[in-house]
Copies of this chain bind each other. A is one copy, B any other.
């Protein structure tokens, strides 16, 4: 049914016919009352079931490797085997890891709040002190498109967001270095270095190296926030390799300025896993002190469950995830290509892992497409969510999350989505030609 040539190359008549055909199909879909959802980066039930063995795995043995009774209070850094698990995922020494509660997002919030109000680098290093003294806001660099929950933390804590563009090799480092040199109140950069949310790109070696050296160029007390949420969430073999930012930062004398995060949320149970934060001895000691006022320790029983369940078999376990997730990514990509390939009205990423595909419409169409899809029964992440304050200046980026729905639903939803993109694009092109004609008309009158 689709012709394989750019829509822009079609005549107005051809476009009008195409619109009529697409609109009729759209009305059919709308009448069908679909209820499909591509919004959230959530694992599907069959992925979660891979970890059902967690419950009962302890078999009555609640002793950690160092003799700690995991059932009792204490130990702000978590038990040794959980710290080793985090170290394995993040590629750092276990001593550099704190194993925490169920949420790496919470650890990020807490690290940032600690940096703001308490200081990660000793007395007098609190960002807020500098902010009050200089009467200037604390600012973070936000590569866009990015992760809405990172932006929400900034919003909640009164941190200004400076957008920099993402490329397919990571943040545009020329832009990043320029901003950092210009603005001493820039205190951090958000990074999802592997299978970036939402583009799915993996930062290349040159980018990671420049990021590791970035704190040396920045104002004082700068922190690289390295949210390695998808460190082991590969879909292809061999998986793309991510350079070791901690090792590079150490070489660059900037070990104190990189803080890493990970969790088992999308390895075992989303929201019932174990989260990790990694940093230098100095920063972890400050953070532990900060945490000491608000908790007695993390849930060590759940840590022990996870360590016993995953020990020595993370890679194998992630292959089982990939077997379930990969067909869904393939289904989205195949249907996007089948529906939109050659039309030159959209671009999308083809990630080798992670949880998202980033889709780019013609400028000014993302909101429209999301609204059309909703009318046709397919819920998408709100357009703009990938940008600070929900404002995508080009209104073009849409995040597609293929994991949660069933394969059949993903297929159906993608077809609806592609139809909406094509319809919105055709309408936009027709409208722009009418505008152009009207302008030409009024100019010649």
Instruction: List residues of A whose CB falls within 8 A of some B CB.
Output: 40, 42-43, 45, 48, 51-52, 54-60, 62, 69-74, 101-103, 105-106, 109-110, 149, 152-153, 155-157, 265, 269-272, 290, 292-302, 305
A271 B109 Cβ-Cβ under 8 A: no
Cβ 8 A contact of A271, one of B42, B58, B300: B300
Judging by beta carbons under 8 Å apart, are A272 and B301 in contact?
yes
User: Main SS of chain A's interface residues?
Assistant: loop
Q: Collect the chain B residues with CB atoms within 8 Å of residue A293's CB.
A: 109, 152-153, 155-157
Q: Whole-angstrom distance between the alpha carbons of A265 and B62 in the complex?
A: 16
- With beta carbons under 8 angstroms apart, the residue of B156, B290, B295 that contacts A105 is B295
For the complex of A and B, list the 10 residue pairs with the smallest distance between their C-beta atoms, beginning with the closest.
A56-B56, A156-B293, A109-B294, A272-B301, A71-B269, A48-B71, A102-B299, A73-B270, A55-B58, A272-B299
Rounded to whole angstroms, the CA-CA distance of A43 and B71 in the bound complex is: 9
Query: How long is the Cα–Cα vector from A54 to B40 in the complex, in angstroms?
Result: 31
Copies in the assembly, this chain = 2
Contact B48 A299 (CB under 8 A): no
Report the minimum CB–CB distance from A81 to chain B (whole Å): 15
Q: Could you list some 7 contacts between A and B, CB below 8 A? A: A42-B72, A43-B72, A55-B55, A55-B58, A55-B59, A55-B301, A156-B294
CA distance A156 to B294 in the complex (A): 9
Tell me whether B296 and A299 are in contact (CB under 8 A): no
In the assembled complex, the CB of A325 is this many whole angstroms from the nearest CB of chain B, namely: 15
Contacts A101-B102, A299-B101, A299-B271 given; indicate if A60 touches B70 (C-beta within 8 A).
Answer: no
Residues of B within 8 Å of A101, CB to CB, are 101-102, 299
A52-B60, A103-B295 known; A42+B109 contact, CB < 8 A: no
A280–B57 Cα distance when bound, in Å, is 39
Pairwise interchain contact A270-B72, C-beta atoms closer than 8 A: yes
